[in-house]
Amino acid sequence: MDKDSDSTVTSLDENTENFCSNQTRDILGEGILNLFKPVVEKLDERIQGTREAQKELKTQLDILSVQLRDIEKAQHNIPEFSDKVKELINVKHKVTVIANILTSSQERLAGLHKLIEKEQRRRQALLDSAISTNIS
């Protein structure tokens, strides 16, 4: 026989009857399975954790979305205050003007009160001098 014809490689058709009873293949398959099983389990756990985190995140995003819609609705219902603020500024200005008028009026009244007291003292002095000259 030729060197090429002494090949130990067999075809798939020749080994199909040994497929279920090959111990070497079973041991090798079990070893590979045991080698990858912890990695696959850890990966599965992490995937489960990621899915749970994504579900929780989705729930929180839904809640946030509802809250943002409520805030948006509330902002659209805010009354316009600029006109009211202008009115308040105008009223404040008028109150300031009136307060200034009242202050100046009070100062004038105080001045008039002093003039009246001065005039009363002068008249009292004239009256007193007239009485004292008449009595003597």
How much is the pLDDT for 51? 87
pTM, to two decimals:
0.38
Among 17-21, 60-64, 83-87, 129-133, the range scoring the smallest mean pLDDT is 17-21
Asked if the structure places residue 12 within a domain, the reply is: no
Q: Could you tell me the two tokens for 121?
A: 């003292």
CA distance 38 to 45: 10
Of the residues 37, 52, 78, the one at which a domain ends: 78
* Cα dihedral 98/102/105/109 (nearest 10): 160
pLDDT for 4: 52
pLDDT at residue 94 greater than cutoff 50: yes
Q: Examine residue 53 and state whether it is found in any structural domain, yes or no.
A: yes
Torsion of CA 68, 71, 73, 74, to 10 degrees: 180
Give yes or no: residues 86 and 67 share one domain.
no
| Band of pLDDT at residue 1, cut at 50, 70 and 90 | very low
Which tokens is 115 given?
């003039």
Q: How far apart are CA 19 and CA 68, in angstroms?
A: 63
Write out the H or E segment, with its range, that includes residue 123: helix 82-135
Per-residue pLDDT tens for 10-58? 555 555 555 556 788 888 888 887 887 888 788 888 888 888 888 888 8
The separation between CA 89 and the C-alpha centre of its own chain, rounded to angstroms, equals: 31
* pLDDT at 70 exceeding the cut of 60: yes
What mean pLDDT comes out for the span 100-106? 89
End-of-domain residue from the set 78, 102, 121: 78
Asked whether residue 7 is domain-assigned, the answer is no
Which tokens go with 49?
A: 């954790």
Domain that holds residue 55: 23-78
